Structure 1
Amino acid sequence: MSVHNKTLTLIASKLGISDKEKLLNKAAEFERLLQMRNVAGSNMTDTSKVVICLDLAANVFGIEFDVKAAIKYSGLKPTMYTNCRKVVVNLLELNSDRLTVSTLCVTLQCASVQELADNILEEYQKQAKVELDLDLPQYVCMAVSQACRLSKVKVPKTKLIEKSRLKPAQWGKLDADWTKFVDDKFAVAKKKRGRPAKTAVVDETEQESMEIEEQKIEIQEPQTESYEDWKRRMLEAAYKELALLEQTQKIEKVPTTPRRSPRKTPQKFSPYKSPGKKNGVRLLFPLNI
């Protein structure tokens, strides 16, 4: 036990497993491998890493291990301890059923986006400022989620969050960062490879219509008329209007007889009656001839 570090020896004695030499050797091996891997964004301390390594070594050999005491000595909450243990398992590749892009796409029935998800994952690793272990489930789930978003493939978000082993709030924050990154790197390239954008089609249509209208305007544009031709045309039009006006005035000056009524003017006395006699007859010729 003298070859192991003091923290490992001390915690092993507190957990009652200091006499398990093969367990301690395996835990020390896990610890050395873990130091070579980068655990970015993790709340694990050196003490918690030692405790988790002892836990995993005990699990390998099937030795009884006091998990409650281990959580107490790790300084982590139970939920955080479980999450950190899963992270270490993935880092050390101790889990045979490790989540990959291909297995997740098969599970979610979206195999068509597998290639795009792999490209997103690879590009994210290139632009990362620190070394990342992209085999962690949250990165795999996020790459598949973004690939489905770009390809407009619907997948249950609850399953993705469950597979990522993140809380909804953590997923939302990571999703916002990845969405910005993916839109900058892949959205523009996808538009160039795929169908042209609607705005581009509209612009091309408007440009073609404008060119056609310009051609029509050029064709329909009249030739420039000389001053002499314009003067002659205007004088002819003026003379015609003047002659028409004079003719109209002559017609108005012609005297016209008033229209007589078709009915005859009624006579004051009847030709057959004598004005002096009520019952007499008025003759139209004298009797004394």
Structure 2
Amino acid sequence: MAIRALKNYELSRHNSYFSAKFHAMASPCELLFDTRDQSLAEWLSEKGVAEVQRIEEKFSRYAKNNLCFAINNADGAPVEIDDECYRLLSFAQTCYELSEGMFDLTSGVLRRAWKFDCSDRLPQQHQIDDLLPLVGWEKVRFTDRHIQMQPGMEVDFGGIGKEYAVSSVSDICLHHAPNVSVLVNLGGDIQVTKPRERNLPWRVGIENHKQVIPIIQGALATSGDAKRYLLKNGKRYGHILNPKTGWPIRNAPSSVTTHAPLCVQAGCLATLALLSGKEAEQFLKNQDVKYWCTRT
């Protein structure tokens, strides 16, 4: 039952918990609070929604006059960054190294050639070739104070931004309500701060795998092409691109969900699995993590 509808979210009371629904990062989002204290649920909702909006406004490539815009429009000049941006860039560097160059925040520029609208319209090779010189994380130079890229290059935080926001909101809720279990769900990327009362799990429906997953603590993240792909002559082209060729990863699963302590970790593992193509399942087994993998 909805009990409070504000500009930023809608709060609802359930039998033993509250939920706050809102929209951010181009996704439906929800916060679940294992408490019957309405004032606490409202207060945590305000804090959580504000944090998601702050991160989106700062790092979204769709926004104008934010940090991401400044970096992508510097035309080769160095751009001053803060500690938060440096931590994200450092995490991207780690993912780049772990994936042997396959996880690359600069590959977002390839979207100019690819339109994953479920049609059969593939780009021409020359369109991809024109963009490949603008791809390559090894060309990016950054310190804890500045980032500098070659003219025309871009960074796209979309591959890590939502998962980072999930973990950040979880940290805020755990800090301010250490005795309350909170589930943070941003478009299917999820983290639970602590076990619920009586150690009951939250039950999470994963659409791509058509099942409900119980989660007591930790995070779930999903990566896949269920709604973003092209289909040409019976061949499916998913939206996860190989930054070295500019073409979709071959023989990748249609969807991967992983479980890890933090959402940033789960998201990284899910994406790296997709980037592994036909070796996705073996990659996940080697990481010794719980996962769900679907192939079409």
Give the TM-score category using the shorter length.
Answer: under 0.3
Higher RCO by CA contacts (8 Å cutoff, separation 6 or greater): 2
TM-score normalised per structure 2: 0.24
TM-score normalised per structure 1: 0.25
Which structure has the highest strand share of the two?
A: 2
- Which has more radius of gyration? 1
